[in-house]
Amino acid sequence: MFNHKQTIIMSNVLSPSQKLDVVELLETAGVECSKTISNNLGITTKQIGAIKTWYNKDKNGYKSNLINLINAEKRNIDKINKLYAKANNDFKNVVGKYKKEARQIMVNSILKGKEHGLNRGVIATLPSNTWAIEELIHNQVSKSFSYLACENKKSVFIDMVSNLNKFGRNNKPFLGSLSEVITNAKENEFDHIIADYCGVLDTFKDEIIHACLNKVVKVGGTISVTTLKARNDNEFTSKLNTLKADLSNTEVRLNDNESAIKMFFKSLCSITNFEVETEFCYKDTTPMILVVLKRTK
């Protein structure tokens, strides 16, 4: 089984979000539950006591101030992330109309997995700092999934970890690539994999092949893959399209990435226990293809 690395960030200073979590639990669970709150949030009873003191002095004012600080922090983080992404030439497409539709397609496929009893296992995912699809799964499918949250950029990882326990249960952060997680996974290790790469297929095809051949998701489980649809002169794309042209005796442009992507996944399913459940092409800022694979046996 994959040895999940755990990164613990120790700090004596709680963030406004952590303080607000304590306040909301105090309001619902009562002041006598400090030990339970401490266990759930991973902070000390002494820290909880300090928050109680400030909260009791001015309940409405203290809570409102925390919310204002969180909103200001979020605006600042969003600004920093946009600048960071621009500087590092990262692809950002998290709020577009069709991106939301693509997420809903993935969620609907995961929902079908409940027919196979898949509602409380592990989902390997790339939540970044938004946890957007994980929130949808939490609200629409099950609150009992555990997320193995992968991120290989430390600046994004730290932000991701700050929201680690908002959705699901017993989530684990992994500072590294989803590729590493998949290639070290064993059979039936995951309920689902959300491989929302938004990159070139050739850079991650090997781990998708590994996942299917080694059946790392359970029967009824899905592997959702998002990849670039735009035409390119990649050698892998050209090989697939040459083969397609030879087999079908039709003309296929060698840089037709959409044709190559669809052929790759259908060919992979023909030799594994998976089927292509959905193909969804969309464009908000950059042309993409979402392919959802489902394990059948």
Domain ranges of the chain: 16-87, 97-295
In the predicted model, what is the mean pLDDT of residues 180-207?
92
Of the candidates 244, 261, 265, the residue with the CA atom closest to the CA atom of residue 253: 244
Q: Residue 296's pLDDT is what?
A: 97
In the predicted model, what is the mean pLDDT of residues 129-142?
93
Give yes or no for residue 234 having a pLDDT over 80. no
Q: Residue 255's pLDDT is what?
A: 59
Give yes or no for residue 124 having a pLDDT over 50. yes
**CA 24, 27, 32, 36 torsion: positive or negative?**
negative
Q: Residue 274's pLDDT is what?
A: 97
Give yes or no for residue 87 having a pLDDT over 70. no
Give yes or no for residue 135 having a pLDDT over 90. yes
Percent of the chain with pLDDT over 70: 82
- pTM, to two decimals: 0.67
Burial 55-87 (b: 16+ CB within 10 A, else e): beeeeeebbeebeeeeeeeeeeeeeebeeeeee
| CA–CA distance, 121 with 239 (Å, rounded to integer) | 38
In the predicted model, what is the mean pLDDT of residues 46-53?
83
Give yes or no for residue 120 having a pLDDT over 80. yes
Question: How would residue 91 be classed by pLDDT, with cut points 50, 70 and 90?
Answer: very low
Q: Residue 138's pLDDT is what?
A: 95
Place of tokens 């296992």: 121
Of 28-42, 196-210, 261-275, where does mean pLDDT reach its minimum?
28-42
In the predicted model, what is the mean pLDDT of residues 65-84?
65
Residues contacting 101, CB < 8 A, separation 6+: 280, 282
- Which of 14-28, 30-44, 278-292 is modeled with the greatest confidence? 278-292
In the predicted model, what is the mean pLDDT of residues 173-201?
93
Q: Residue 18's pLDDT is what?
A: 79
The mean pLDDT of the chain is: 82
Residue of higher predicted confidence among 248 and 296:
296
Give yes or no for residue 235 having a pLDDT over 80. no
Question: How would residue 7 be classed by pLDDT, with cut points 50, 70 and 90?
Answer: very low
First vs last C-alpha separation in the chain: 21
Give yes or no for residue 198 having a pLDDT over 60. yes
| CA–CA distance, 36 with 110 (Å, rounded to integer) | 32
Q: How far is CA 104 from CA 12, 110, 128, 290, 292, in A?
A: 39, 10, 17, 11, 12
For the domain made up of 97-295, the CATH class stated in words is: alpha beta
